[in-house]
Amino acid sequence: MIWWMGTMRVQRQLITLLLLAVLCSTGVSLRCYNCLDPVSPCKTNITCSPNQDSCLIAVSGRQIYQQCWKFSDCNSMFILSRLDLANVQYRCCQLDMCNKKLKEESSGARDEASSLSGRTALLGTSVLAAIWKLCF
User: 3-state class of 39 per DSSP?
Assistant: coil
Across 53-58, average pLDDT: 96
More reliable by pLDDT, 119 or 89: 89
Closest by Cα among 56, 58, 34 to 113: 56
Confidence (pTM): 0.58
Tell whether 43 and 86 lie within a shared domain: yes
Tell me the pLDDT band of 136, cut-offs 50, 70 and 90: low
pLDDT value of position 103? 60
C-alpha to C-alpha distance for 2 and 101, rounded to whole angstroms: 63
Tell whether 32 and 97 lie within a shared domain: yes
C-alpha to C-alpha distance for 28 and 49, rounded to whole angstroms: 10
Q: Residue 67: which H helix or E strand, with range?
A: strand 63-69
Average pLDDT along the chain: 75
DSSP state letter for 27: P
Q: Number of structural domains, the chain?
A: 2
Tell me the pLDDT band of 8, cut-offs 50, 70 and 90: low
Give the range of the structural domain holding residue 80, as residue numbers without chain letter: 28-105
Tell me the pLDDT band of 25, cut-offs 50, 70 and 90: very low
Tell whether 48 and 79 lie within a shared domain: yes
- 13 lies in a domain? no
